[in-house]
């Protein structure tokens, strides 16, 4: 079958090749209309003809001609992680409405893989990057900035000029989680974290330490940093709780959903119960928190807002309309004390 060309579409629609090119290369505006200097009725006719004939736009050629691919890349540590999956889902919906295609990838906390992904995305001529950087990402992302690829950091921060940033105030989140447990009368409060060194975790650790010190509990600060690898992390968490029971520990802050899952597993293995033996404050949302009675307090991050703010900032950077003030967006988490089953969530405040 002969390939349908842009000239075939123009001939069938009774318009010029240039007009067809305008329509096929236009982005969708916020009002749902194509952003191009063509009468809406004529544009609709061109699109109908293109669809009927089976015309497929050559994105690579169009990108080379215009310098614009109408695509962005989103690189997170693990796209299967529900936290990042929800952000990616929101990002894709917002980007689609704005006429952008989104390419997703996972770094798996590996700086070498992230470097390869960034180089690949630059080769695909993406117009911008949204990245949750792993440790050691500075070089690859700085090179992207240097070759003119606007880049927005989410969830974690790294040193460097030129980045946009949409970050949750994780120091405040750590303080909030710790204060809740202190207000419940606990003094021997510990935290389990990873050895990753990413700022989302180190900031939560800092918030925990600050709240403990302010409450006169500096000597009781204890942060257990474990490997990220699944099986090693699971075994290490069991040993932490085995030892914690001997030391009379009362409560734990678990700053990621996966760390919470390891901790629930440890309690099951060791025969401990919540809240009889320990109390938890977890992070992010999970049906497991709701099914426990009483519901486990958990810190919820504004995932929809992270997606919306990061895309809007990236679009401003692409269009060179972002001020220095625009480049840093700080969002707040909230502590939820109730669950979705049987009652509305209750937001805590201090």
Residue 138: alpha-carbon gap to chain centroid: 18
pLDDT at 59: 56
User: Could you tell me the pLDDT band of residue 349, with boundaries at 50, 70 and 90?
Assistant: low
Choose between 252 and 119: higher pLDDT: 252
Does residue 77 have a pLDDT over 50?
yes
Does residue 345 have a pLDDT over 50?
no
Does residue 196 have a pLDDT over 70?
yes
What is the average per-residue pLDDT within 30-43?
Answer: 72
Characterize the bridge pairing of strands 189-194 and 223-226: parallel
Percent of the chain exceeding pLDDT 70 equals 88
User: Could you tell me the pLDDT band of residue 179, with boundaries at 50, 70 and 90?
Assistant: very high
- Is the separation of the CB atoms in 131 and 106 below 8 Å? no
Least confident of 21-35, 96-110, 159-173: 21-35
pLDDT at 285: 84
Give me the domains of the chain, ranges plus CATH numbers: 6-57 (1.10.260.40), 67-168+303-332 (3.40.50.2300), 170-301+337-348 (3.40.50.2300)
User: Could you tell me the pLDDT band of residue 344, with boundaries at 50, 70 and 90?
Assistant: very low
**Secondary-structure breakdown of the chain: helix, strand, coil percentages, each rounded to the nearest 5:** 45, 15, 35
What does the alpha-carbon distance between residue 240 and residue 237 come to, in Å, rounded to a whole number? Answer: 5
pLDDT at 3: 74
Rounded (5°) CA angle 87-349-342: 70
- Is the separation of the CB atoms in 301 and 285 below 8 Å? no
């Amino acid at each position: 079958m002969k390939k349908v060309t842009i000239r075939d579409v123009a001939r069938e629609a009774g318009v010029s090749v240039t007009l067809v090119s305008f329509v096929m290369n236009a982005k969708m505006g916020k009002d749902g209309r194509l952003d191009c200097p063509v009468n809406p009725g004529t544009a609709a006719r061109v699109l109908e003809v293109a669809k009927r004939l089976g015309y497929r736009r050559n994105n690579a050629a169009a990108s080379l001609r215009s310098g614009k691919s109408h695509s962005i890349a989103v690189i997170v540590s693990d796209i299967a992680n529900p936290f990042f999956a929800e952000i990616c889902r929101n990002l894709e919906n917002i980007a689609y409405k704005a006429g952008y295609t989104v390419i997703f990838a996972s770094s798996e906390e590996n700086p070498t893989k992230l470097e390869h992904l960034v180089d690949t995305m630059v080769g695909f001529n993406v117009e911008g990057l949204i990245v949750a950087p792993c440790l050691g990402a500075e070089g690859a992302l700085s090179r992207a900035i240097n070759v003119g690829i606007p880049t927005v950091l989410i969830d974690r921060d790294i040193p460097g000029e030129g980045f946009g940033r949409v970050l949750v105030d994780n120091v405040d989140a750590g303080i909030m989680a710790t204060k809740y447990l202190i207000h419940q009368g606990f003094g021997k409060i510990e935290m389990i974290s990873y050895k990753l060194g990413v700022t989302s975790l180190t900031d939560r650790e800092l918030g925990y330490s600050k709240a403990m010190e302010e409450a006169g509990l500096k000597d009781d600060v204890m942060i257990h940093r474990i490997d990220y690898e699944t099986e090693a992390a699971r075994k290490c968490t069991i040993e932490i709780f085995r030892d914690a029971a001997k030391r009379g520990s009362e409560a734990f802050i678990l700053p990621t959903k996966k760390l919470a899952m390891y901790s629930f597993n440890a309690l099951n293995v060791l025969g401990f119960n919540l809240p009889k033996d320990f109390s938890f404050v977890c992070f992010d949302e999970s049906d497991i928190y709701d099914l426990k009675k009483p519901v486990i307090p958990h810190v919820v991050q504004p995932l929809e807002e992270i997606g919306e703010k990061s895309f809007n900032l990236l679009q401003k950077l692409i269009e060179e309309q972002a001020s220095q003030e625009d480049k840093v967006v700080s969002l707040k988490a909230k502590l939820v004390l109730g669950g979705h089953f049987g009652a509305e969530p209750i937001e805590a405040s201090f």
